[in-house]
C-alpha cells in the first residue's frame, strides 16, 4: 500500500481528520486574482471515461480564456487521448499512485516535484475536476491565485474556491459548473443544469491516418456496422458473454449487420469466447488490435455501439456514434452517455444503482450481479433497433435523402 492509499472502510474518517488538521490553511487563501488570465491548468487524473466526460468543460475553458495557454494534466493511460482534444496547449502526464493499475506510477516525492514545476509555470487558474483530497493537495502545490475544485472528497482547504460535488448531477454538468465558478460572474452564462446532445460543440481531433486505417479495416464489409464491446471493465459491470453473443446474432439476422467486436489486449480471451458463438456470421474482431486513437476512428465508422458503462461508451459519444449502454450498479444520470444519440438499458431494483462499482456488496461478487443479470437480450436488441431507426430518420430529415 502506497502513502495515502487507505482501506475504503477508513477513508471517510481519514478525510475528516485531515480536513480538521488543514483548517489553518483557510486563513492563508489569496483573496482574488488581478490582470489577464495567461495560463490555466486543468487536472483530470482518472480513467478514460472520466476524461471524456469533461470534454465540454474543456471547451468552456477555451471559450472563457481564448488567449490563454490551457494545459491538461492526465494519467499516462490518457496521454494519447489528451493529444486529440482541441483547445489544449500542453498535456502533462501524471500517473498518481492511487489510480495507476498497471505500468508506471509516480512516487509521492515525484508528485511533489511535479507540483513545484507547475508552480514555476505561474498558472493564474488551476481547476481540479477530481473530488479528492490528494489531487487537491497537488493543486495547492501550484500556488495559483485561483484553485477551484471540490471539497466533497476532502482537502477543501487546499483550494481558494471549493464547492460541493453535486452527486445527483452528471459528471459533465459538475465539471462545467466548476469552470463557470473559476471564470467568475462575467461568464455566468456558462452555468447549465444539463447538457443536450445538440449543445455539444467539442469532439476529438482525429488524425486522417487513423481514419484511413479504420476505413481499411471495415470499409469493405457490409453495413450496417454494429459494434459490440463485451468487456464491462469491472466485474460489477460485466454482462453475460452469451447474451452479448445473443444480441449480435439477432441484430445480424434482423438488419443484416456486420458485427465489430472491440476490446483491449486483456479482453481478447472473453472476446474470443463471444466470437466462437457467432459462427458463420459476418464478424470483424479487433480486440487488442487498436490504439486509443485507432479505436476512436473505428467507432466513428460504426452505425451503433452496444456496450456496458465503459470508456469506449464515452469515446463513441465523443465522435458522435449512437450508443446503446447497459447500466447496473452505476447511475446513468451521473455517468450516462452524452454527445451522441443513445439508449440506456437497465432494470429497476430497490438496491440499484448502488454506486458500489469498485467494491460491490459481498452478495454481488463472483458472478454477474442481479442488476446486470436482469437485463435481457430482447431489451438490448429492441433498444438498438429503435435507436437505429431514430438516427436513420433524423439523417433523412437533415440530408433530405
227 and 182 in a single domain? The answer is no
172 and 54 in a single domain? The answer is yes
Question: Rounded CA gap, 377 and 8, in Å?
Answer: 35
| Residue 350: Cβ within 10 Å count | 5
Query: pTM for the complete prediction?
Result: 0.89
> Stretch 235-245: mean pLDDT, rounded?
97
So what's the pLDDT on residue 26? 56
Quick check: is 3 in a domain? no
Residue 11, C-beta contacts closer than 8 angstroms, at least 6 positions apart: none
Q: Give the DSSP letter of residue 230.
A: -
So what's the pLDDT on residue 24? 60
Are the C-beta atoms of residues 227 and 196 closer than 8 Å to each other? no
Express each pLDDT in 339-364 by its tens digit: 999 999 999 999 999 999 989 999 99
> Stretch 1-15: mean pLDDT, rounded?
51
**Residues of the domain holding 74:** 8-199
15 and 133 in a single domain? The answer is yes
pLDDT band per the 50, 70, 90 thresholds, residue 17: low
Express each pLDDT in 291-332 by its tens digit: 999 999 999 999 999 999 999 999 999 999 999 999 999 999
Question: Rounded CA gap, 282 and 394, in Å?
Answer: 27
Q: Choose the final residue of a domain: 178, 199, 220.
A: 199
So what's the pLDDT on residue 202? 55
Express each pLDDT in 140-174 by its tens digit: 999 999 999 999 988 899 999 999 999 999 999 99
Torsion angle of the four alpha carbons 286, 288, 289, 295, in this order, in degrees rounded to the nearest 10: 70
Question: Rounded CA gap, 324 and 199, in Å?
Answer: 20
**Domains in the chain: how many in total?**
2
Query: Measured between alpha carbons, how far is residue 130 from residues 120, 137, 151, 161, 391 in Å?
Result: 23, 11, 10, 14, 34
Are the C-beta atoms of residues 328 and 366 closer than 8 Å to each other? no
Quick check: is 204 in a domain? no
273 and 393 in a single domain? The answer is yes
- 272, 288, 278: which is closest to 257 by C-alpha? 278
Are the C-beta atoms of residues 98 and 5 closer than 8 Å to each other? yes
Q: Choose the final residue of a domain: 199, 234, 265.
A: 199
Quick check: is 1 in a domain? no
Are the C-beta atoms of residues 82 and 204 closer than 8 Å to each other? no
> Stretch 212-235: mean pLDDT, rounded?
95
Helix pair angle (133-141, 8-22), 10° resolution: 40
183 and 231 in a single domain? The answer is no
Express each pLDDT in 33-74 by its tens digit: 568 999 999 999 999 999 999 999 999 999 999 999 999 999
31 and 147 in a single domain? The answer is yes
- Which residue, chain included where needed, has cell 438499458? 345
Q: Give the DSSP letter of residue 222.
A: P
Quick check: is 231 in a domain? yes
**Residue 393: φ, ψ to 5°:** -65, -40
pLDDT band per the 50, 70, 90 thresholds, residue 219: confident
Quick check: is 115 in a domain? yes
Beta strands, E only, 77-215? 90-93, 125-128, 146-150, 161-163
Average pLDDT, the chain: 88
Quick check: is 30 in a domain? yes
268 and 286 in a single domain? The answer is yes
How crowded is the C-beta side of 123, counted as CA atoms within 13 Å?
Answer: 29
* CATH code of residue 60: 3.40.50.2000
pLDDT band per the 50, 70, 90 thresholds, residue 184: confident
So what's the pLDDT on residue 3? 41
Amino acid at each position: 500500500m502506497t502513502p495515502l492509499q487507505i482501506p475504503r472502510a477508513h477513508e471517510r474518517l481519514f478525510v475528516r481528520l485531515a480536513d480538521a488538521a488543514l483548517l489553518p490553511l483557510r486563513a492563508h487563501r489569496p483573496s482574488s486574482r488581478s490582470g489577464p488570465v495567461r495560463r490555466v491548468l486543468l487536472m483530470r487524473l482518472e480513467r478514460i471515461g472520466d476524461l471524456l466526460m469533461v470534454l465540454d468543460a474543456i471547451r468552456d475553458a477555451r471559450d472563457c480564456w481564448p488567449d490563454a495557454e490551457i494545459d491538461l494534466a492526465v494519467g499516462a493511460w490518457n496521454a494519447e487521448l489528451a493529444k486529440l482534444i482541441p483547445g489544449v496547449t500542453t498535456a502533462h502526464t501524471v500517473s498518481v499512485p492511487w489510480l495507476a493499475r498497471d505500468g508506471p506510477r509516480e512516487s509521492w516525492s515525484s508528485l511533489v516535484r511535479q507540483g513545484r514545476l507547475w508552480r514555476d509555470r505561474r498558472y493564474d487558474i488551476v481547476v481540479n475536476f477530481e473530488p479528492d483530497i490528494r489531487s487537491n493537495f497537488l493543486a495547492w502545490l501550484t500556488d495559483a491565485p485561483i484553485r477551484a475544485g471540490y471539497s466533497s472528497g476532502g482537502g477543501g482547504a487546499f483550494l481558494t474556491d471549493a464547492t460541493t460535488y453535486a452527486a445527483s448531477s452528471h459528471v459533465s454538468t459538475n465539471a462545467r459548473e466548476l469552470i463557470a465558478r473559476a471564470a467568475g460572474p462575467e461568464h455566468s452564462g456558462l452555468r447549465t443544469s444539463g447538457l443536450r446532445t445538440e449543445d455539444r460543440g467539442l469532439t476529438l481531433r482525429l488524425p486522417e491516418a487513423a481514419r484511413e486505417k479504420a476505413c481499411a479495416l471495415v470499409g469493405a464489409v457490409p453495413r450496417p456496422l454494429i459494434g459490440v464491446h463485451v468487456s464491462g471493465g469491472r466485474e460489477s459491470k460485466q454482462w453475460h458473454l452469451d447474451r452479448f453473443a445473443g444480441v449480435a446474432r439477432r441484430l445480424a439476422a434482423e438488419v443484416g449487420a456486420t458485427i465489430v467486436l472491440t476490446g483491449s489486449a486483456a479482453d481478447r480471451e472473453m472476446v474470443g469466447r463471444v466470437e466462437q458463438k457467432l459462427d458463420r456470421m459476418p464478424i470483424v474482431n479487433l480486440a487488442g488490435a487498436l490504439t486509443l486513437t485507432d479505436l476512436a476512428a473505428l467507432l466513428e465508422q460504426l452505425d451503433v455501439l452496444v456496450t456496458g458503462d465503459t470508456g469506449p461508451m464515452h469515446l463513441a459519444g465523443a465522435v458522435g456514434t449512437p450508443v446503446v449502454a447497459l447500466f447496473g450498479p452505476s447511475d446513468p444520470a451521473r455517468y450516462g452517455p452524452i454527445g451522441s444519440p443513445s439508449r440506456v438499458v437497465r432494470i429497476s431494483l430497490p438496491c440499484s444503482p448502488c454506486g458500489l462499482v469498485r467494491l460491490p456488496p459481498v452478495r454481488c461478487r463472483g458472478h454477474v450481479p442481479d442488476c446486470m443479470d436482469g437485463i435481457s437480450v430482447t431489451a438490448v436488441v429492441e433498444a438498438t433497433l429503435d435507436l437505429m431507426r431514430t438516427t436513420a430518420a433524423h439523417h433523412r430529415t437533415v440530408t433530405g435523402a
